[in-house]
Amino acid sequence: MTNKTDTPVTVIGLGLMGQALAGAFLKAGHPTTVWNRTAAKADQLVDQGAQLAPSVGDALKAGPLTIICLTDYQAVRELLGAADAELDGTTLINLTSGDSAQARETAQWAEQRGAHYLDGAIMAVPPAIGTAEAMILHSGPKPYFEAHKSTLDALGTVTHLGADHGLASLYDVAGLAMMWSVLNAWLQGTALLKTAGVDAATYAPFARQIAEGVATWLPGYAEQIDRGSFPAEVSALETDARAMAHLIEESEAVGVNAELPKLFKAMADRAIAAGHGGEQYPVLIEEFGKPGT
């Protein structure tokens, strides 16, 4: 049986992320072939033992598993389109950021050319690659993932989400929604407190406690969403909407931007107008589940 660190791997695309990916494979002992449009970006990796392939086609042929990580899907299709004969029989994992439709289209395109295709999303910055903190999501046929999981483990905490190739991209953007919503909410509060001379560092631990407390509500709220039933066990939406009005009024009174609370109050008001005022907050999923006005 092959030792897991003997498995050869190819990395195409040596931007900040691709260099980190290739570096992690090398560190774990995998024979690593690399290719990049600007060849000089491979120099450091070659010094560490990587093989620089002379062409994309040669890179694809170098081993059973290729990871590609470029700026966007258009670049991926352009680049691989010029060497698509070499895709036959290879496993291709695309860790480039994009949307779910691009992931599904690229999967179909690659599979038509005989590749075993997995899409992926990296929820980490380059310095975290190779540590357990680096969350790397994959979607597509599970046997393709399982066949290479021991190699992929060199990159961080790797997860398979399901057979639908679009899932990794969807989790990626869902994570972004969470990240920016939390950060923007924190900035709103920080701006409010600044008007009273409270600095950001003083408010940050309090804000963190609130965010962690809210996070504990998620499993129960998720159950309500999955059941499609929203009894007001803790607070009714109309009570929450009155608190939102306070936030807007206070922001305006002290000269702080109120666009964000106005946005979520408008959604709550629409749900209340539709008869959901006596239900609990996650009933707003119905507003989130349709196109905006």
Residue 41 as a binder of ligand FVH (CB under 6 A): the answer is yes
Residue 16 as a binder of ligand FVH (CB under 6 A): the answer is yes
- Local structure of 99: helix, strand or coil: coil
Q: Shortest distance, CB of residue 13 to ligand FVH, whole angstroms?
A: 4
Q: At what angle do helices 167-194 and 237-253 cross, to 10 degrees?
A: 50
Write out the two tokens for 217.
Answer: 């509500």
Number of residues binding to ligand FVH, judged by CB under 6 A: 21
* Contact in structure between 7 and 30 (CB atoms under 8 Å): yes
| CA–CA separation, 174 and 99 (whole Å) | 11
Residue 122 as a binder of ligand FVH (CB under 6 A): the answer is yes
| CA nearest neighbour of 73 among 31, 32, 38, 108 | 108
- Local structure of 32: helix, strand or coil: strand
Residue 156 as a binder of ligand FVH (CB under 6 A): the answer is no
If the CB atoms of residues 80 and 236 are measured against ligand FVH, the closer one turns out to be 80
Task: List strand residue ranges (DSSP E) for the chain, in order.
Answer: 9-12, 32-35, 51-52, 65-68, 91-94, 116-123, 135-139, 157-160
**Distances in whole angstroms, Cα of residue 63 to Cα of each of 9, 220, 221:** 6, 46, 46
Residue 96 as a binder of ligand FVH (CB under 6 A): the answer is yes
If the CB atoms of residues 98 and 277 are measured against ligand FVH, the closer one turns out to be 98
If the CB atoms of residues 70 and 268 are measured against ligand FVH, the closer one turns out to be 70
Instruction: Using the rule CB under 6 A, give the single segment among 31-39, 204-212, 247-255, 274-282 that binds ligand FVH.
Output: 31-39
If the CB atoms of residues 17 and 59 are measured against ligand FVH, the closer one turns out to be 17
Residue 125 as a binder of ligand FVH (CB under 6 A): the answer is yes
| CA–CA separation, 18 and 155 (whole Å) | 11
If the CB atoms of residues 45 and 122 are measured against ligand FVH, the closer one turns out to be 122
Amino acid at the residue 96: T
If the CB atoms of residues 71 and 202 are measured against ligand FVH, the closer one turns out to be 71
Burial (Cβ within 10 Å: 0-12, 13-18, ≥19) of residue 187: middle
Residue 52 as a binder of ligand FVH (CB under 6 A): the answer is no
**Binding residue for ligand FVH (CB under 6 A) from 28, 59, 70, 80?**
70
Length of the chain (residues): 293
**Binding residue for ligand FVH (CB under 6 A) from 43, 78, 88, 146?**
78
If the CB atoms of residues 75 and 232 are measured against ligand FVH, the closer one turns out to be 75
Q: Shortest distance, CB of residue 221 to ligand FVH, whole angstroms?
A: 28
**Binding residue for ligand FVH (CB under 6 A) from 37, 208, 242, 246?**
37
* Contact in structure between 140 and 163 (CB atoms under 8 Å): yes
- Please report, as ranges, the residues that interact with ligand FVH according to CB under 6 A: 13-18, 36-38, 41, 69-71, 75, 78-79, 96-97, 122, 125-126
